[in-house]
Structure 1
Amino acid sequence: MHFAGRMARRIAHSAACGMPRFLSSMVDRPVQKKTASEAALRLLESFADKTVTRRQVVDGNQLQKLSLTLGRRRLARDLDVSISAPPTGTPLPHGYHLVYFTPNGIEGELGADGTDKTFNAPAPFSRRMWAGGKMTWPAREQPIRVGDEVEERTRLLSATAKTSRRGEDMVLINPEATIAVPQPKALKDLVRGPSTCEDIAYEHDAPPLRRLSWSSVGLFRFSALTFNGHMIHYNQEWTRDVEGHPGAVVHGPLNLISMLDYWRDVHGKGQRPREIAYRALSPIYAGETYDIRTVGERGPGDDKGWDISVEKGGTICMKAQIPG
């Protein structure tokens, strides 16, 4: 299983003092600030020719908790996981690997915003958002299953200085992770009311749209499942006062899993996707209602595929392409 995701590490400046607003203290002498290009170069030098390798047994309990967090009592048509965890040998639905290989380390080793610092750019480019990526599943390889002992190998593909639409300097980081089992089986991934999920049918045989809303509790549960301490997903004070968001941010990986579930339910017909390329464009916040829909369907033939989007009030927040 291989995945590469892009994460933007960016810096926002305070209008009051011109210094990064997430610094916890000021110093008496002038601070020499790194440029985005310098920060990207330093990160590349730190991880040149390095691969981070971790091993883990795929746990059915973790899979059960994710399925219930997503509001899916049945992991498959004939597999109810509302009472007990799925048995050894149960295949992982595509995208569900994201709740495995969660960050290691004690709390004191996390960044100021609660994130894992493995691929963090140096200060002041330490704030981050999930920007997008790509996943591929080799067609002839078997799915990863509960009970498999799997290995994750992660390396840094690139770190690039960029400027955001708001004119902020940032570093775009592109790590690549490959998850495999000994056979091998592989996936390649090339970064307050209750939560709700309902399908809304169209006329004229058009694919239905899926309407979702995530509560703060649902976001907290997903953060816990992924061992993700990033405070923009659960700490209202940090999210509002430090990051400048109006509310808790829905996780990019959570929307990715929801898009794969939508494709599986609406278009999959029992098949597995072989690839998904995706890009996050705009944040979604706890309590907001948004839709997952099919915006394009191509084929049949070699060009067969689906364009899936996540939309909120006419704004495309995430988009993905899944080839047939």
Structure 2
Amino acid sequence: MEKFDAFDAWIGKKEIQVDYLNQRPLAMMQALLNQENKNLTELPHLYHWLYFLPTVNNEQLAEDGHPKKGGFLPPIPFPKRMWAGGRLQFLKNITVNQEIKRESEILKIEFKQGKSGDMYFVTVKHSIFADDQLAIVEEQDIVYRNTSNQTKTQRAVIVPAAETKPFSYKKQFPINTTSLFRYSALTFNSHKIHYDRPYAMQEEGYPGLVVHGPFLATLLIHSFKEEYPTKTIQSFDFRAVNPVFDFNEFSICGDVQTQSAELWVEKENNLIAMKAKVTFTED
């Protein structure tokens, strides 16, 4: 494969952001998940995604609604940008109503050629501190796709039907355009594929509005904690393998073992949309 090193200068690039962990986003997330509004004292898993949000002016947004490239992230010319997965370690509980800091670094940039077209994968590491103590270590995988075969790509992103396998629980969480809008608003995510149906279908070749990958990951870990509230989560790895659209029905599943669990989102046609693994200890 030809080596593409045009963006090597971005590898090792760093940025630091500071935020304050107030209650309001937590209450709104609980409402989105149909939970009783509790005055939380500790940050639930993955709720740190409600902070450190990119607050750029409208004039600094690209046509797709994302912030324009070339700031912290490299100016990769491929227009289709998605959060493909991540790996997280939870080292310390974070108390609500305190200052938090996130140190970010671009670890690697890889060019790949496959059946679905040309892609760049950018891996970003986030280290989140509370009271100057490292609390969460996260690696995010961001994928950039070419549009030259976008319709073909969307029809090709299909995995084999899920095998029949045991599960400890299987539950549903109905998604509609309102919940997609509320999650976009809560995370200040203006990517049009989540709320602008003509743009999602005509410009990016999707058959409908796309459910946010982080939203699905949050549902996975939220459902696990609902079923097993006494288990202390140590790590969470997830990977998006098939898009979920606003017209899809899907199940949130978990197969729980002694110290780990396999979690997945399964669409109504038995396709796996997201795979995840969580490790834990018992309180």
Q: TM-score range by the shorter chain?
A: 0.7 to 0.9
Q: How much has 1:97 moved relative to structure 2? A: 1.0
- Give the TM-score normalised by the residue count of structure 2: 0.83
Find 1:298's aligned residue among 257, 267, 276. 257
Q: Does 1:72 align with 2:35?
A: yes
TM alignment of 1:23-38, pairs within 5 A: 37-38=3-4
Alignment correspondent of 2:16: 53
Alignment correspondent of 1:42: 6
- Give the TM-score normalised by the residue count of structure 1: 0.73
Amino acid at match of 1:97: H
Residues 113-122 or 271-280, more deviating: 113-122
Q: Does 1:190 align with 2:139?
A: yes
Q: Which ranges of structure 1 fall in alignment gaps of 5 or more residues? A: 1-34, 74-79, 192-204
Distance 1:285 1:292, change over 3 A: same
Alignment correspondent of 1:155: 105
Which protein shows a greater Rg?
A: 1
Amino acid at match of 1:321: K
Amino acid at match of 1:307: E
CA contact (8 A) 1:298 1:305 kept: yes
Q: How much has 1:123 moved relative to structure 2? A: 4.9
Q: Does 1:272 align with 2:221?
A: no
Higher RCO (C-alpha 8 Å, min separation 6): 1
CA–CA distance in structure 2, aligned partners of residues 50 and 208 of structure 1: 42
Alignment correspondent of 1:98: 49
Alignment correspondent of 2:279: 323
CA contact (8 A) 1:308 1:319 kept: yes
CA–CA distance in structure 1, aligned partners of residues 227 and 106 of structure 2: 35
Per the alignment, in what secondary structure is the counterpart of residue 169 of structure 1? strand
% identity of equivalent residues: 27
Find 1:136's aligned residue among 89, 97, 106. 89
CA–CA distance in structure 1, aligned partners of residues 225 and 76 of structure 2: 41
Q: How much has 1:119 moved relative to structure 2? A: 4.9
Q: How much has 1:146 moved relative to structure 2? A: 1.8
Q: How much has 1:289 moved relative to structure 2? A: 1.0
Per the alignment, in what secondary structure is the counterpart of residue 263 of structure 1? helix
CA–CA distance in structure 1, aligned partners of residues 220 and 105 of structure 2: 26
Q: What root-mean-square deviation, in Å, do the aligned CA atoms of Structure 1 and Structure 2 show?
A: 2.1
Q: Does 1:262 align with 2:223?
A: yes
Amino acid at match of 2:203: V
CA–CA distance in structure 2, aligned partners of residues 164 and 68 of structure 1: 41
Deviations 1:266-291 (A, max 9, x none): 13x32320001111101101132101
Amino acid at match of 1:60: Q
CA contact (8 A) 2:12 2:107 kept: no
CA contact (8 A) 2:107 2:123 kept: yes
Deviations 1:99-142 (A, max 9, x none): 1111121112122211133454435313211211111112xx2x
Find 2:124's aligned residue among 175, 181, 184. 175
